[in-house]
Chain A
C-alpha cells in the first residue's frame, strides 16, 4: 500500500503524472461533461474522441518521416478534434437530417486514417496505446499542454455558464433573446473536443467518452442545478481516476479500462440507490414536495 501511495504522490512515481493530469482533467470533465450530457450530444462527443486517432497517427507519421519534432501526438490529437468538431457541428446545423450519418462517417474515417498512418510508421507507438490509454506515454511536456487546454476549457465553461445554461435548456428561447445559439453549440463541441484530448492518454480515445458522461450521468441522478451537477461530477471523476490508477497499479491491469469500469460501477450503484425507498422518503416526488397545489379555479 505504501508503495502505491509513493508512486501516486511523489513526483518521481510512475503514477504521479497521470494522477496530476487526471485531477486537472476531472475539473474539465465535470464542467464540460455536464454540458454535453444535458445538451444530449454525447454521441457527437464520442465521434470526436474516436476521430482523434487520425491526429495522433498523423503526428507520429510526420515526426518519423518529415522530422516534425514539434508536432506531438497531443497536438495532433488537438487539431484533429477541432476539425472533427467543426465538421460535425456545421453539418448538424446546416442539415440536421444528415447529422447522424456524418457523425458516424467522421468517427470511422478518423479511426481508419489514424490506423493507416500508424501502420506506415515504424516504431513502438501502438494503436492500442492511443485507443485504450497508456499512462507511460504522459510526459512532463504534455503536462503543460494538457494543463493549458484544461485551463482554457474550464475558464470558458465557467465564465459563460449562464449563457450555456440558457442555450442547453431552451435553444430557441436563447436565440430569441439574441444569443448566437449556433455559435454556442459549436463552442460546446469544441470544449468537448479539448476535454477529450486532455484525458485521452489516461483512458484512451475509445473510453474517454465514458469519463465525459458517466460521472455527469451519476451526478444528474441527484443534482437539482447544473452547477451542482458539475461539482459532483468533477469529484466523482477525480475519485474514479485516482481509484482506477491505484487499482490498475496493484492488479497490474491497464489503467483506462479500470477507470471506466469503476465509473460504470459507481453509476450503477448510484442509479440503484436513487430508486431506493429511503431516497423517496427524504426527497419526495412531485406531488408531496410541492407547496400547496395551485388554487382552485375561480367560479
Chain B
C-alpha cells in the first residue's frame, strides 16, 4: 500500500550483553543497500574492523558513508549480505555501541540540560521509566572526563558547536560502549574545537573501537588504524596512503 518506509520498524527486544568483545568489532560481508526507488547506495561491500581500531570513513557526498554507519548501528537493514557487531546482529549488540550524530540535526529550542542529555544515554527498553541506579555516577564520571561538569545544568541549546559535540560524545560514552560511531564530529565547528574533538577521540580509541565519518582530511593522521574510502564500494587504505594526490584521484576533484 505504501511505497516508501521512512521510519525503521521497532526491533524486537534484543539489546543483550555480549560476553566476548575480543573478536572483530564490525564485520560487513557482501553487504548491499539501496533506498526504495533509487539506485544502490552501497554495493557488495566487505570489510572487517578489529577491536580497538581507530577508523576514519571518507568519501564524496552521497557516497554512502552515513548509510554505512546506520547499517552498522542497525538503524537500516541491509538488502543483501550480513553485518555483525561483536559477532551479533547490530540491534542485538546495541548495549555495547555508542553513537554520536551531527549536533546540528537535533531540535533547536528543546528544554533539556547538559546532564539530562547525557542521561538519555542510559535509557533502556525494560526499565520502567527509570535509569539503572549507577547511571548518575557514570554520567558524572564521563562529564568529568570530558570537562563538562561546569556546564552540567546549562541548557543544551545554548552551547557552542564544540561543547554540544562533547556532550553528545559523553551521552554515547555513558553506556560504557566498546564501539563508538561518529557522524562528522568536526562538522560545523571551528578548527580549534575540531582539534579538541580529535584529541578526545584519539584518547578514546585506546580503550574502544572508534569509527568516524569525516569530510575533514586533517582528521587523517598516523594515529588512525585505517581509512575507509566509501563511494558505493569500500576501499581500505593505510593513513600514510591518503596523500593529496591519492585523494584527488579518488574524489575526481579537489575535496573540500
Contacts and interface: CB of A to CB of B under 8 A. Distances in A.
Contacts of A94: 1-2, 5, 7
B178 interface: no
A244 B191 CA distance: 54
B179 to A, nearest CB: 12
A170 B163 contact: no
Most chain B CB neighbours (cut-off 10 Å) among A94, A175, A176: A176
B196 interface: yes
Interface in A73-91: 91
| SS class, residues of chain A in contact with chain B | helix
Interface stretch (B18-26, B54-62, B118-126, B228-236): B118-126
B39 interface: no
Contacts of B82: none
A249 interface: no
Given A170-B120, A180-B10, A297-B195, A95 B111 contact: no
B129 A178 contact: no
Contacts of B131: 162
Given A166-B120, A169-B117, A294-B160, A179 B99 contact: no
B99 A98 contact: no
Contact of B97 (A160, A176, A223, A291): A176
Contact of B120 (A169, A181, A296): A169
B125 A162 contact: no
Nearest to A183: B10
B163 A176 contact: no
Contacts of B196: 294-295, 297
B192 interface: yes
A182 B9 contact: yes
B110 A160 contact: no
Contacts of A296: 192
Nearest to B126: A178
A52 to B, nearest CB: 26
Nearest to B198: A297
Contacts of A98: 2
A177 interface: yes
Contact of A176 (B4, B94, B110, B147): B94
Contact of B4 (A95, A172, A182, A229): A95
A173 B97 CA distance: 11
Contact of B7 (A96, A168, A290, A292): A96
A180 B101 CA distance: 19
Contacts of A182: 7, 9-10
A23 B113 CA distance: 29
Contacts of A286: 158-160
Given A95-B5, A96-B7, A178-B11, A290 B116 contact: no
Interface in B179-207: 191-193, 195-196, 199
A175 B111 contact: no
A112 interface: no
B133 interface: no
Contacts, number: 144
Nearest to A160: B129
Nearest to B194: A297
A226 B112 CA distance: 6
Most chain A CB neighbours (cut-off 10 Å) among B73, B99, B121, B129: B129
Nearest to A284: B158
Interface in B130-171: 130-131, 147, 150-151, 153-155, 158-160, 162-163, 171
B130 A162 contact: yes
Contacts of A63: none
A97 interface: yes
Contact of A179 (B5, B101, B125, B192): B125
Contacts of B199: 298
A289 interface: yes
A180 B15 CA distance: 12
A38 B11 CA distance: 25
B8 interface: yes
A203 B6 CA distance: 36
A182 B75 CA distance: 13
B75 A174 contact: no
Contact of A40 (B2, B15, B106, B107): B107
Contacts of A166: 120, 123
Most chain B CB neighbours (cut-off 10 Å) among A285, A289, A297: A297
Interface of B: 1-11, 13-15, 73-75, 91, 94-95, 97, 99, 101, 106-107, 109-113, 116-117, 119-121, 123-125, 128-131, 147, 150-151, 153-155, 158-160, 162-163, 171, 175, 191-193, 195-196, 199
10 nearest A-B pairs in the assembled complex, by CB-CB distance = A178-B15, A95-B2, A180-B10, A291-B150, A96-B6, A297-B195, A166-B120, A178-B125, A297-B192, A166-B123
Interface of A: 38, 40, 91, 93-98, 159-163, 165-166, 168-170, 172-183, 220, 223-226, 228-229, 285-286, 289-298
13 contacts: A40-B107, A94-B7, A96-B7, A159-B129, A162-B119, A162-B130, A166-B123, A169-B110, A173-B121, A177-B15, A181-B7, A224-B155, A294-B163
